[in-house]
Amino acid sequence: MAIIYIDGKPLETQDGQNLLEACIELGLNVPYFCWHPALGSVGACRQCAVKQYRDENDKQGRLVMSCMTLVTDGMRISVDESESKDFRANIIDWMMTNHPHDCPVCDEGGECHLQDMTLMTGHNYRTYRFKKKTYVNQNLGPFINHEMNRCIQCYRCVRYYKDYAGGHDLDAFASHNHVYFGRHEDGVLESEFSGNLVEVCPTGVFTDKTLKEHFTRRWDYTTAPSVCVHCALGCNITPGERYGKLRRIRNRYNRSVNGYFLCDRGRYGYEFVNSDKRPKAPLKRQMIDGKPVHVPMTRDEALSEIGKFFSNGSKAIGIGSPRASLEANFALRALVGAENFYLGLSKADGKLLSAVLEIVLSGPARQPSLGELKDHDAVLILGEDMTNVAPIAALNIRQSVNNQPRANAKAMGIPEWNDLPVRRAMDTDRGPLFIASVAPTRLDDVATQTFHATPDGIASLGFAIANFIDPQSPAANVSGEVRALAQQIATALQSAQKPLVVSGPSCRSEAVIQAAANIAWALCRKAKPAGIYFAAPESNSVGLGLFGGANIENAAEALRKGGADTLVVLENDLYRRVPAALVDELLSLAKHVLVVDHQYSATAQKAEYVLPGATFAEGDGTLVNNIGRAQRMMQVFNPEGEITESWRWLRRLRAASGKGREDEWISFDSFLHALVAEIPAFSHILDAAPTAAFRVGGLKIPRQSHRYSGRTAMKANVAVSETGVTADPDSPMSFSMEGFSMMTPAALMSSFWTPGWNSAQSITRFQEEVNGPLEGGDPGVRLIEPQPDSAVPYFDAVETNESHDAAWTALPLYHIYGSEELSASSPAVAELSPKPYAMLHSDDARARGLLDGDAVTVKIDGQEISTSLKTNDTMARGVVCLPAGLEDAPYIEFPAAAEILRSVTS
Amino acid sequence: MSERPLTEHIPTDGSALSLKDYERVGGYAAVRTALGGLQPADVTQCVKDAGLRGRGGAGFPTGVKWALVPMGPEAAKPKYLVVNADEMEPGTFKDRWLLEGNPHQLIEGIILASFAIQAEISYIFLRGEYTVAQERIEHALHEAYEAGYLGENILGSGFNLGTYLHMSIGRYICGEETALLNALEGKRATPRTKPPFPQISGLWGKPTIVNNVETLCNIPHIINKGADWYKSVSKTPNGGTKLYGVSGKVKKPGLWELPLGATVGELMDLAGGMRDGLALRGIIPGGASTDFLGPEHLELQMDFDTVPKAGSRMGTGTMIILDDKTCPVGMIRNLTQFFSQESCGWCTPCRDGLPWLEKTLAAIDEGSGVPDDINHLKRHVKLLGPGMTFCALAPGAMAPLGSALTRFAEDFERHIREKRCPWKN
């Protein structure tokens, strides 16, 4: 701790931080631009100048940049002194020489850091009387709008994009006051994290292009804290709604999860919520003109008609979903009975998920949180392309390679926040990162070594590494070359302070997952605090796994046995999970098929009844992320029609069937209590957010800002009287501007605003310390903790079968854009989805007379897939990679034996 | 005639001294002395004792700079010596003479400096337009490698040094030593955060010394003849001779090697005085980024300590003369335009302040100035002063402007009052 004197007042600050951070933590209004909590200080903008005095007798003082000044005990500064104030106002004056005064038509207006800082410095009148300069803007793709004229040259964009996110195609060009930030030519930004430019840019140079289609000012959104549903990481988000449409997604800071950043799938995948194809009322299939057509029915009709199928004595089969909330899955389980509840996973998916859960529930290795990935100093990735499967995890692992080289800077006495010297001291040094995968990954550029092999080859490498660390762990039969690599990796992991092993199900191999466990456990047994981190496929995969239950194939068997008339499919498109023939059979075996979903999926289209479920933005629920962190998402807005949470539909059905009482589980909280009573593994989810009864000063937490406009008029086309506020029985939040928005617990914070701080930069005002947790602690609870004294035995090594028989092994490649069901229907994401392809090693292709771009047919399980050939020089041999989960692509159960034929051109 | 160690052997026909000729006049003797028995610390001490101050403009004591480099087996490796040959200061052309006339003298200085700091690699960062120097340095480097003065195990001493020539693509900011290092690394030529200084974390994060061409050319003579001799050739406590230049409307603009501490008047005499019909109005003593002196300063000694007492700096020691038939506002406008264009664009005051000044000066010069412009200019002189900006470029630009606003106040006011430039029709 250091005591510093600011304008004569003694104040406590932390040792080692810079003066700007100290002032921010003390709640002082010191303006800044180039500093960003995740990017550190560079001293470029000169906006944070303050006066520093030698001692109490020094009346003159000198200007210093607070972001570049180390706090020292007894230091004396002034923020209010006139020369420094004048200088700060001048910085704005200079920036404004070329900044267009286009705030009224700028998307950033109202949440613009430049506006805030302009007001803060008191620069009111423009004194520059000459012509402004203009730039040519670029088309940067479907996500980001570019308006260079607004640029104030703070350099944050390139520092974020290149230095932090590892991008290569955004740079600073030209010099003096012609500095230009953009690409070398128009084109889609390559980084999967480009959307963060929108929040990193302190003004309107980079803005959300999808928002432009339905623009809304910051103060006009209805928002609530929510959780991203587009992968399993559970990044915290703030969705914003107006006029019944979801307008955009912004980052919601959570140090333990996503910190300041989102991936582009998470930020831009939201438009499935606004899809016209969604069911908005209960639907019933009827034959009209000989064709099956879904026709809407009222809620009461639906409940009384469908409710009967669940009355006492009748049996229904329920299929849950890894993309539905815990509550929805539980409600289904309660409706059909635990013995008739099936996880909405294929047998193969279920097996991989169980393998992961078994490891993390019984083993000694701890799963770091997403945010903690940045802290590890040696990382091994076994079989995952993290950028495409768990994007923000990849972004954080990218940061981890800096941890060892940072020691160079520390040895030179350079403070951690002093970004440029730290980066120079690190130079091109990188900490250990080893990636074993089937094909190249987007983290390879920072990897110490990459290793491309079949899943068995990857697993064998893993077993060999574990065996090097602890000879008790089963050895694998590997070549000398692989053995040498295994030894190199084992040494790197063992000599690190905090090694981490990352794996997941993308290789479709239990052995890969088990090899990862052996390595982490071997390190633990050698007293290394090793972390283990598994990617998971979907937003609630782990939550579903914790329910336990059988798979879709088992559900089919149960139906085949007879006795069950009804099949309920919850938020699940079965055609994406098991072969179409099996789904067709399932649907035909049941007399009644009910789908509860927010998407009009292929499965829903074939159902007898469809009940319109709520998306994440329209309902409350709990999701459990890949490491078992339970997080609550709050309803953002009231959807149109009969759309409501699946759990609510299922509760209503339960009541209508006579199984449950009408007043049972009326509130979300009583429902949660029932869930926890039934499944103790979930007991901590009650702590994920305050109950609906929670109040601050007797008031609810408003979803709308105190500046929300137009509420007396926005529905005037329907009725001129102001509509009442819809009650929210499920959460302590109100659908209005009324309520208490200060001192809100972090789990209920969706909008970060304090007077004078309207932009994304306001987040520092809500952190306990710069880059620290939100005041009161980050929301979310961990459901899975390691068993440090666990004596769980090692897994046996696989027998590697490297013989190349005639057949190819088909394996999936996941794509951040296109492989995930919900985001794929958002137009901006769809635009970047890959075209179908089959990828082979160049030598494998050449050996069969095939070339890149050739039209080929891939035969798998009797299906013939016509596609175009891609070749790659480094991927595994004997393997054909196909993009996973693309829209309209047939389901393939990977790994599969495949044949590849040159397509016959007619 | 005083001693002229740096330039006495430079051929007068415009050619370069060959290796053979350089050796004939004692060339590489200092390298033989140093590598043949001196410790690196001895070389540094000798340079310290000689009182050599950096000739690039800032005048930092060279030996002191070298002594900041981490030495010993624990020191980071490799270490670098970088020659700042990016001579782009307006009115400055002194290094060019040394580069074109006697490249081996520089190479010998490089070897000695590298030996002193135990650098394994050195770079000559040369101004892009200096193509004659480029050719001659390339040739000299080739000769030096062939003769065993560069490369592995130099003269059997066990000391290795690789020296490479790197051509700048031509930005004034590359003369700022840390921007130079960024440029050399292939990055944007923006200055770096200091501390840490290059001595600790320089090129590619490794200990690095950046020295000016003229500075390094002094080293062989210091080693050969000793610190006492070096001090004896100077008129000041700081040793050595200095290349002084005069440009502007004088009779014989030129460049001379004189004892450090020659007076402004001596230089004017060598330049033959003002052209007929012109009177001396102002002097920018050391490149564009120094404050104006005036006719009253003819007795002033041009050295690092005396010029500041008159409110300016010696800088590079190459004076630009303003006469009474040239518009001072036009001259300042021209200089400010240069600095504005050469701003790297990193920090706000320099990037956006200088173009504003440039436009304001243009307005005054073209007759559309307003009375408040003078206050505007004066405010900027303060706001772009030392400590306010990331590097010294903008404060350097403010030196001629600030002093002109005082010295030529009436000229500025007259432009605004008469809404025209009185020097133009």
Any idea what the CATH number is for the domain that residue B395 is in?
1.20.1440.230
Q: Cβ of B351 and A179 within 8 Å?
A: yes
Which pairs count as long-range contacts for B164-167, CB under 8 Å and 24+ apart, including other chains? B164/B121, B164/B122, B164/B123, B164/B124, B165/B123, B165/B124, B165/B126, B165/B134, B165/B137, B165/B138, B165/B141, B166/B123, B166/B124, B166/B125, B166/B126, B167/B126, B167/B128, B167/B134
Compute the distance between CA of residue A628 and CA of residue A666 in angstroms, rounded to an integer. Answer: 27
Q: Cβ of A178 and B387 within 8 Å?
A: no
Compute the distance between CA of residue B322 and CA of residue B166 in angstroms, rounded to an integer. Answer: 35
Q: Tell me, yes or no, if B188 comes closer than 8 A to chain A by beta carbon.
A: yes
- Residue A659 sits in the same domain as residue A709: yes
Any idea what the CATH number is for the domain that residue A468 is in?
3.40.228.10
When computed from its CA atoms, the radius of gyration of chain A, rounded to whole angstroms, is 28
Q: Cβ of A425 and B188 within 8 Å?
A: no
- Residue A735 sits in the same domain as residue A587: yes
State residue B1's pLDDT score.
59
Of A97, A179, A424, the CB nearest to B201: A424
Beta-carbon count within 10 A of A129 CB: 15
Residues of A in contact with B341 (CB under 8 A): 176
- Residue B58 sits in the same domain as residue B188: yes
State residue A15's pLDDT score.
92
Q: Cβ of B188 and A172 within 8 Å?
A: yes
Of the candidates A541, A563, A585, which is a domain's last residue? Answer: A541
- What is the secondary structure of A472-485 as a DSSP string? TSPP----HHHHHH
* Each residue's pLDDT tens digit, A303-352: 999 999 998 888 999 999 999 999 999 999 999 999 999 999 999 999 99
Q: Cβ of B351 and A172 within 8 Å?
A: no
- Residue A335 sits in the same domain as residue A393: no
Residues of A in contact with B342 (CB under 8 A): 176
Which chain A residues have any C-beta within 8 angstroms of a chain B C-beta?
A: 42-47, 49, 62-64, 68, 87, 90-91, 94-95, 97-98, 127-128, 130, 152-153, 155, 172, 174-179, 408, 412-414, 418, 420-421, 424-428
Mutation target vs B (from A176, A422, A423; most B CBs, 10 A cutoff):
A176
| Parallel/antiparallel/unpaired status of strands A733-734 and A837-841 | unpaired
- Residue A599 sits in the same domain as residue A617: yes
Any idea what the CATH number is for the domain that residue A67 is in?
3.10.20.740
In a domain, A38, yes or no: yes
Range of the domain at A314: 283-346+551-751
State residue A225's pLDDT score.
97
In a domain, B4, yes or no: no
Residue type present at position A607: A
B123 touches B166 (CB < 8 A): yes
Of the candidates B232, B266, B283, which is a domain's last residue? Answer: B232
Q: Cβ of A414 and B348 within 8 Å?
A: no
- Residue B74 sits in the same domain as residue B135: yes
Of A49, A97, A179, the CB nearest to B356: A97
Any idea what the CATH number is for the domain that residue A847 is in?
2.40.40.20
Instruction: Provide the shortest C-alpha distance from residue A41 to chain B (in Å).
Output: 10
Instruction: Provide the shortest C-alpha distance from residue B18 to chain A (in Å).
Output: 39
Any idea what the CATH number is for the domain that residue B144 is in?
3.40.50.11540
- Residue B375 sits in the same domain as residue B292: no
In a domain, B13, yes or no: no
In a domain, A632, yes or no: yes
In a domain, A150, yes or no: no
Q: Tell me, yes or no, if B356 comes closer than 8 A to chain A by beta carbon.
A: yes
Q: Cβ of A43 and B344 within 8 Å?
A: no
Please name every residue paired with A434 in a beta bridge, in sequence order, or none if there are none.
Answer: A380, A449
- Residue B377 sits in the same domain as residue B304: no
Residue of B nearest to A97 (CA): B352
In a domain, A662, yes or no: yes
Residue of A nearest to B352 (CA): A94
- Residue B178 sits in the same domain as residue B29: yes
Q: What are phi and psi of A569, to 5 degrees?
A: -110, 120
* Exposure string for A618-647, b = 16+ CB within 10 A, e = fewer: bbbbbbbbbbbbbbbbbbbbebeebbbbbb
Q: Point out the residues of chain B with pLDDT beneath 70.
A: 1, 425
In a domain, A379, yes or no: yes
Q: Tell me, yes or no, if B196 comes closer than 8 A to chain A by beta carbon.
A: yes
In a domain, B12, yes or no: no
- Residue A593 sits in the same domain as residue A450: no
Q: Cβ of A176 and B353 within 8 Å?
A: no
Q: What are phi and psi of B389, to 5 degrees?
A: -110, 170
Instruction: Provide the shortest C-alpha distance from residue A393 to chain B (in Å).
Output: 29
In a domain, A781, yes or no: no
Compute the distance between CA of residue B255 and CA of residue B98 in angstroms, rounded to an integer. Answer: 11
- Residue A563 sits in the same domain as residue A465: no
B181 touches B203 (CB < 8 A): yes
Residue type present at position B113: A
Residue type present at position A528: K
In a domain, B315, yes or no: yes
Compute the distance between CA of residue A318 and CA of residue A335 in angstroms, rounded to an integer. Answer: 8
Compute the distance between CA of residue A696 and CA of residue A712 in angstroms, rounded to an integer. Answer: 26
- Residue A9 sits in the same domain as residue A70: yes
In a domain, A159, yes or no: no
Q: Tell me, yes or no, if B359 comes closer than 8 A to chain A by beta carbon.
A: yes
Residues of B in contact with A176 (CB under 8 A): 340-345, 351, 354-355
- Residue A417 sits in the same domain as residue A448: yes
Structure-token pair, residue A575: 């055609």
Q: Tell me, yes or no, if B339 comes closer than 8 A to chain A by beta carbon.
A: no
Q: Cβ of A44 and B390 within 8 Å?
A: yes
In a domain, B55, yes or no: yes
State residue B398's pLDDT score.
98
- Residue B276 sits in the same domain as residue B134: no
ipTM, 2 dp: 0.95
Instruction: Provide the shortest C-alpha distance from residue B243 to chain A (in Å).
Output: 32
Residues of B in contact with A31 (CB under 8 A): none
Q: Tell me, yes or no, if B349 comes closer than 8 A to chain A by beta carbon.
A: yes
- Residue B183 sits in the same domain as residue B131: yes
State residue A806's pLDDT score.
61
In a domain, A813, yes or no: yes
Compute the distance between CA of residue B354 and CA of residue A370 in angstroms, rounded to an integer. Answer: 46
Of the candidates A703, A719, A751, which is a domain's last residue? Answer: A751
- Residue A469 sits in the same domain as residue A589: no
Residue of A nearest to B370 (CA): A129
In a domain, B252, yes or no: yes
Helix axes B131-146, B94-101, angle to 10 degrees: 40
- Residue A579 sits in the same domain as residue A628: yes
State residue A857's pLDDT score.
95
Of the candidates B308, B323, B338, which is a domain's last residue? Answer: B323
Residues of B in contact with A42 (CB under 8 A): 193
Any idea what the CATH number is for the domain that residue A300 is in?
3.40.50.740
> What residues have CB less than 8 Å from A569, skipping those under 6 apart?
A319, A344, A593, A594, A595, A596, A597, A603, A604, A607
Any idea what the CATH number is for the domain that residue B298 is in?
3.10.20.600
Instruction: Provide the shortest C-alpha distance from residue B388 to chain A (in Å).
Output: 7
Q: Cβ of B355 and A46 within 8 Å?
A: no
- Residue B47 sits in the same domain as residue B73: yes
Of the candidates B202, B232, B262, which is a domain's last residue? Answer: B232
- Residue B143 sits in the same domain as residue B289: no
Range of the domain at B247: 241-323
Q: How many CB pairs under 8 A join A and B?
A: 105
Residue of B nearest to A410 (CA): B196
Instruction: Provide the shortest C-alpha distance from residue A87 to chain B (in Å).
Output: 7
Compute the distance between CA of residue A241 and CA of residue A220 in angstroms, rounded to an integer. Answer: 8
Which is it for the CA torsion B382, B387, B388, B389, positive or negative?
positive
- Residue A711 sits in the same domain as residue A612: yes
In a domain, B100, yes or no: yes
- Residue B26 sits in the same domain as residue B51: yes
Mutation target vs A (from B187, B342, B352; most A CBs, 10 A cutoff):
B352
Of the candidates A508, A541, A574, which is a domain's last residue? Answer: A541
- Residue B179 sits in the same domain as residue B226: yes
Q: Cβ of B388 and A46 within 8 Å?
A: yes
Mutation target vs B (from A129, A426, A427; most B CBs, 10 A cutoff):
A129
In a domain, B1, yes or no: no
Residues of B in contact with A425 (CB under 8 A): 196, 201, 205
Structure-token pair, residue A598: 């927010």
Q: Point out the residues of chain A with pLDDT beneath 50.
A: none
A117 touches A33 (CB < 8 A): yes
- Residue A704 sits in the same domain as residue A840: no
The total domain count for chain A is 4
Nearest to A484 by CA among A468, A505, A507, A502: A468
Q: Cβ of B345 and A178 within 8 Å?
A: yes
When computed from its CA atoms, the radius of gyration of chain B, rounded to whole angstroms, is 22
The total domain count for chain B is 3
- Residue B297 sits in the same domain as residue B351: no
